[in-house]
Chain A
Amino acid sequence: DQQVKQNSPSLSVQEGRISILNCDYTNSMFDYFLWYKKYPAEGPTFLISISSIKDKNEDGRFTVFLNKSAKHLSLHIVPSQPGDSAVYFCAAGIYNNNDMRFGAGTRLTVKP
């Protein structure tokens, strides 16, 4: 069963606008969430994380929002740049449990 779902396989936005990538999860035990970015022929690289005690975490142009009651998190990129074009994975885990679950990924294309 897929406990972490990214329902949009792809997203296209104009340079300078906001990109919003969404992720839903089903396991209410998850208490730590991460976003990774992946370029072709490379491994995923860590982008930003959030724990369940927070509802927002910011790092420069990237902000992650967590809505625990809806079991939903989102990644906002403002402003979007062409270099942000990549596949974005969300991941969720439980504290002190090594079984982290990943979504299927969303391919973001930022058009100049």
Chain B
Amino acid sequence: NAGVTQTPKFQVLKTGQSMTLQCAQDMNHEYMSWYRQDPGMGLRLIHYSVGAGITDQGEVPNGYNVSRSTTEDFPLRLLSAAPSQTSVYFCASSPRTGRYEQYFGPGTRLTVT
């Protein structure tokens, strides 16, 4: 099992550019989520999905889009990058919705100039 994989590991964007952060899991988990980690802020939930075709907003969804067409994949799209989106992004999955422990990917470090 590869667990949760994320690509790319590092990315530099110019303001206004768009990109997609990829996330995949091979554990057949129903629940997947995206977090961002900023200094002094912990991890904040951006979007989550409780199954294929179902997504919802988390604590900080503005500027990000997601879709879940398969159980395995949960990409995060930045439509028009802003410097405030400079952060480390983690994707996570869980076999059960909500309260249970999550398995995290290694993260994507994004810099927007």
Q: Is the interface of B mostly helix, strand, loop or mixed?
A: strand
Q: Bin chain A's interface residue count.
A: 20 to 34
Q: Kindly state whether residue A25 has any CB partner on chain B within 8 Å.
A: no
Closest B residue to A103 by beta carbon equals: B42
Report the separation of the CA atoms of residues A104 and B33 in the bound assembly, to the nearest whole angstrom: 18
Contacts of B50 in A (CB 8 A): 98
Q: Kindly state whether residue B43 has any CB partner on chain A within 8 Å.
A: yes
Q: Indicate which residue in A36, A49, A95, A102 contacts B44 across the interface (CB closer than 8 Å).
A: A102
Q: Indicate which residue in B59, B90, B103, B106 contacts A99 across the interface (CB closer than 8 Å).
A: B59
Q: Kindly state whether residue B104 has any CB partner on chain A within 8 Å.
A: yes
A residues near B (Cβ < 8 Å) are 2, 4, 6, 31-32, 34, 36, 41-46, 49, 89, 91, 93-105
Q: Indicate which residue in A31, A95, A96, A98 contacts B33 across the interface (CB closer than 8 Å).
A: A98
Complex contact B98–A43 (CB within 8 A): no
Report the separation of the CA atoms of residues A95 and B41 in the bound assembly, to the nearest whole angstrom: 23
Complex contact A97–B98 (CB within 8 A): yes
